[in-house]
Structure 1
Amino acid sequence: MRIDIVFDTVCPWCFVGKRRLTDALALRPGVPVAVHYHPFLLNPDMPAGGIDRTVYLERKFGGAHRARRVLEAVSMAAQGTGVTFRFDAIRRMPSSVDSHRLLRVAQEQGVIGPAMDRVFAAFFQDGRDIGDRAVLYAVAREVGLSEALLDAEFARTAGIAEIMAANGRAHAMGISGVPSFIFNGSYAIAGAQEPDVLLRLIDLALETEVRDPVTVR
């Protein structure tokens, strides 16, 4: 089974959604799965150096009170997934472009799952600035990626444009929120759905063959 996941590294719901997908797949241990991850930018106009986190939240949610309510809802949803958010540790809202570039390398090297978990944990649990390349190099070392591979990625002049293009393709497909999951190119659902909901989509995709599946590239 092919599963395409569209996500952003600064999206807390994506962290929860990835864990819930893992839980759902654990209930179908005999199903071979190929998971493909695709970048989405919640903040495509974010400056490369990011901005103050408090300023960002107030702009996005219209005030500290509303922002707090949203983050509390995410924390409640994470219960039972093994994810504990430490939103109070985050000082800057980063651009997510370079973290997606790190994960592109990780996907090529076959360690996308662990690398994605580490990027999420670095930001949402450790409060580290994942827009800072020093942090990304540290994450790469933690999952066994060589600095040379990351050097080569960051040296590519087309790297940023490719992330922007992937974001554009996601929007062109009608994806406006993340995480979004596409199963075997035929069934899609958005949001950090409960494992039982994802499991129903997995089973449906296994039972149904689509002649011309839609695949995120």
Structure 2
Amino acid sequence: MSTLKPLKIDIVSDVVCPWCYIGKRRIENALALVPDVPVEVRWRPFFLNSWVPREGISRDEYLTAKFGSVEAYKGIAGRVVAAAGEEGLTYRPELVKRQPNTIDCHRLIHWAEAQGKAAEMKQRLMELYFRDGGDLTDVNVLVQAAADVGLNADDVRRRLATDEDVALISGQAQEASDKGISGVPTFVFAQKYAVSGAQPAEQLARAIRQVSGEINAQAQ
């Protein structure tokens, strides 16, 4: 029976960030490399594009605003598509037609957390967006995604129609910014060590083992 103190891992990321999609798979692979280390993972919100309005904008408009042109993104996208593929993930940027504001996605993840399903909710939303080109500004798409991971569809639809937890999520995202987090994914170990970027699984596993050893040495 392990008497090790669990290592808290806060993962600050956004569902429309391709490196966060890749980083999620890499941290999962890292955890599989250190099965003897007890951890508590929490998914924390970040707004990669806080300027995108709640109703979203067209993908072409977004790419032009962010990268100068749709063509300019194609070169960048190729590298990310390849990196995703190496992790067994599919990213098909040509299918994405609408750029969402992600506050509702983060609300879903927060609500799923109460049922121990935050990771599944996050994965479902990312797959919809990156793999299927799903419109995350469409309430029907969000409700179906929630139902797919076992949340009550009627309950989710009702809650999405309100401002429930909007202030909470916005506050958590602001807190991450206030702490100096500007690039995601960022993995925060034991609330004191931050690793930025979608680092390789082996590197993340080393960090997990190292910090876990440290906090348990201090606890003795």
**What are the ranges of 5 or more consecutive residues in structure 1 without an aligned counterpart?**
213-217
Spell out the pairing of 1:1-80 with structure 2 (5 A cutoff): 1-80=7-86
Matched to 2:191, the amino acid is G
Verify: 1:106 aligned to 2:112, yes or no. Answer: yes
The SS at the match of 2:9 is: strand
The question of whether the paired residues in 1 share the 8 Å contact of 2:9 and 2:39 is answered with yes
String of CA shifts for 1:11-65, please: whole Å, max 9, x gaps: 1111100000011111111222210011000111211221110111121012233
Verify: 1:171 aligned to 2:177, yes or no. Answer: yes
Deviation at 1:94, TM superposition (A): 0.9
The number of aligned residues is 212
Matched to 1:90, the amino acid is V
The question of whether the paired residues in 2 share the 8 Å contact of 1:105 and 1:149 is answered with no
The question of whether the paired residues in 2 share the 8 Å contact of 1:105 and 1:153 is answered with no
Matched to 2:104, the amino acid is D
The question of whether the paired residues in 1 share the 8 Å contact of 2:34 and 2:209 is answered with no
RMSD, matched Cα: 1.8
Percent of aligned positions that are identical? 39
String of CA shifts for 1:165-187, please: whole Å, max 9, x gaps: 11110000100011100112232
Partner of 1:90: 96
Match of 2:197 among 191, 204, 207: 191
1:211, 1:182 → 2: CA distance? 19
**What are the ranges of 5 or more consecutive residues in structure 2 without an aligned counterpart?**
1-6
From the superposition, tell whether residues 32 and 116 of structure 1 become closer, same or farther in structure 2 (CA, over 3 Å): same
Partner of 2:3: none
Match of 1:203 among 191, 206, 209: 209
1:118, 1:11 → 2: CA distance? 14
1:63, 1:33 → 2: CA distance? 42
Verify: 1:139 aligned to 2:145, yes or no. Answer: yes
Which piece of structure 1 moves more, 91-100 or 149-158? 149-158
1:193, 1:91 → 2: CA distance? 29
Deviation at 1:208, TM superposition (A): 1.3
String of CA shifts for 1:162-210, please: whole Å, max 9, x gaps: 2211111000010001110011223211111111111121121112129
The SS at the match of 2:199 is: coil
2:132, 2:183 → 1: CA distance? 25
The SS at the match of 1:153 is: helix
